[in-house]
Chains A and B, each alone.
Chain A
Amino acid sequence: MAHDRRDHDEKAADTSGISRRGFISRVGAGAAVVAVASKASAESAKPTETMQATELSRITLTVNGQQRQVLVEPRWTLSHVLREELGLTGTKVGCERGECGACTVLIDGKPRYSCMTLAVEAQDADIVTVEGLMDGEDLGPTQEAFVEKDAFQCGYCTSGQILAVEGMLGDNPNPSLDEIRIGVSGNLCRCGAYVHIFQAAQRAAELKQGVGGES
């Protein structure tokens, strides 16, 4: 499979340091630009980033608070890089069309689909996956709430659901049932565990506010 070959190449590149390192050309923003449009910001001194299609380029992603260097092709999605390059397989991939939510991660605190986000576009962002919700060896409150409320059957959608709930609670610590329904409306559950997922979201809100014990 083409895919396996690429993984292999990537590892070879990693050990050899530069052999397959991608081409990132850095050109001053003002250079070779014909100034026409009124709002063009000539003062911007940031270099332009260009990546060639078939080359691997080194980028840095901030995942679960850690800076991770990784070699990527421009077409690789964040879900692909998280799973196949960084080994964070808690993030699941379902439709790869923005339709199911299995791949949900937090990007700067907001739930987004990692299958519809290029890895190169996530370079300046804070990325949180389900692994990042752990509290040391213990489950974080939203994870705990899903276990407590038995909010899954096969579990395939669960990490996406958990991150959708985590992101929603970041904006709205006390959601109503209707707000919860909207909050997880971008996450499909083929097993139909919705009622328990809604309860888990309510429980996660309580746990985050320090309401302990069985509810």
Chain B
Amino acid sequence: MIPEFNYVRAQSLTEAQQQLSTDGARVCAGGSDLLGCLRDEVFDCSKVVSVTGLDELRGITRSRDGGVNIGALTTIAELAANSTVQELYPGLAQAAAEVASPQLRNQGTIGGNICQKPRCWYYRGEFECLRKGGDTCYAMAGENQYHCILGGYRCYIVHPSDTAPALLALNASVQIAGPRGERVVPIEDFHVAPRDDVQRETVLEDNEIVVAISIPQPASGLRSSYRKVRARGSWDFALAGVALALAFDADRVTGGRVVLSGAAPIPWRSREVENTIIGQRIDATLAREAADAAMSEAAALKNNGYKIPLFKGVIEEQLLAIASA
């Protein structure tokens, strides 16, 4: 049984913020991550503040600058099936379609997906590890086949979201409502690396709520894609993934971003790949060079060395695929 909590279904954003301003209160959107954490007692929660009554947080609309605005309560299934998203940002639609299972895509929201907690099995299990306020990372010397190869520092999780890397590749921003009003944070600055704070996954304060995610108008010649490698054909988190959003002028890359999933504690922007390919034509040699560059700083733990050649293969394959798309 899930431990006891008080429950409030907020009727306005201001009320939700106010309800969240008491200690131990947590936002509940689809609940598909929150309820798992509560059942496994990953953290304490004395009050669940449901935001599912806030219809203003729903839906996908075109924004004035030609991009889109995605309400935080938009489900992953709605995102995957949205024709505007499929047309303008195919990489994001592909990433959404790769999230979890049909049931979880019907239930999980985009706001919850970028805010979800890590899947490290020590963190989800009965271990008071560093991220939970203890003084040891059990994964470092333990079972770490699904942990990170880049960006680890005292804690070695990988960020579990498939949509966040695609959003980062597309230069999305997160609209956040807080007691002092609204602020907009580029998704690049939204997730917190363990080097900056080992107990925090996002920059959100306890009483802040993600309202929407906005993506700018695609640059001319922009192509995007998402590729996820996982251990099983049915649902699973990424072992290695790559989100691309690259602008092409004829066959030359003029700009864009390359983001890895399953690699690091945050969606991992690979400047090494970007610097190798921007201004160039992608051919087999360049794709291999970029893939090697992506892994130049990678450091494997005891059980996850396989990820390095896996990433190289996926990056190479995806760069060649998008160049000929």
Contacts and interface: CB of A to CB of B under 8 A. Distances in A.
A185 B4 contact: no
B7 interface: yes
Given A35-B14, A48-B10, A185-B233, A41 B56 contact: yes
A47 B101 contact: no
Contact of B2 (A39, A75, A121, A186): A75
Nearest to B209: A37
A169 to B, nearest CB: 12
Interface stretch (A7-15, A50-58, A137-145, A146-154): A50-58
Interface stretch (A61-69, A95-103, A127-135, A203-211): A95-103
A104 B5 contact: no
Given A39-B56, A41-B56, A110 B77 contact: yes
Given A40-B12, A121-B52, A185-B233, A75 B36 contact: no
A168 B28 CA distance: 26
Given A50-B6, A74-B6, A77-B35, A164 B14 contact: no
Interface in B41-95: 46, 48, 50, 52-54, 56, 77
Given A36-B181, A75-B4, A164 B103 contact: yes
Dominant SS among interface residues on chain A: loop
Contacts of A112: 103, 106-107
Contacts, number: 158
B52 A73 contact: no
B9 A185 contact: no
Nearest to B97: A182
Dominant SS among interface residues on chain B: mixed
A74 B22 CA distance: 18
B182 interface: yes
A214 B231 CA distance: 38
Contact of B14 (A36, A117, A182, A183): A36
A198 interface: no
B56 A168 contact: no
Contacts of A195: none
A108 to B, nearest CB: 9
Nearest to B101: A186
B31 interface: yes
A111 B10 CA distance: 25
Contact of B8 (A39, A50, A73): A50
B318 interface: no
A70 interface: no
A53 B101 contact: no
B179 interface: yes
Contacts of B106: 107, 110-112
13 contacts: A33-B15, A37-B182, A39-B56, A46-B53, A49-B7, A50-B6, A51-B7, A74-B4, A77-B35, A96-B39, A98-B32, A113-B103, A120-B7
Given A33-B12, A116-B107, 4 more contacts: A37-B181, A39-B13, A164-B103, A188-B234
The 5 closest A-B pairs by CB, nearest first: A186-B101, A74-B7, A40-B14, A29-B11, A53-B4
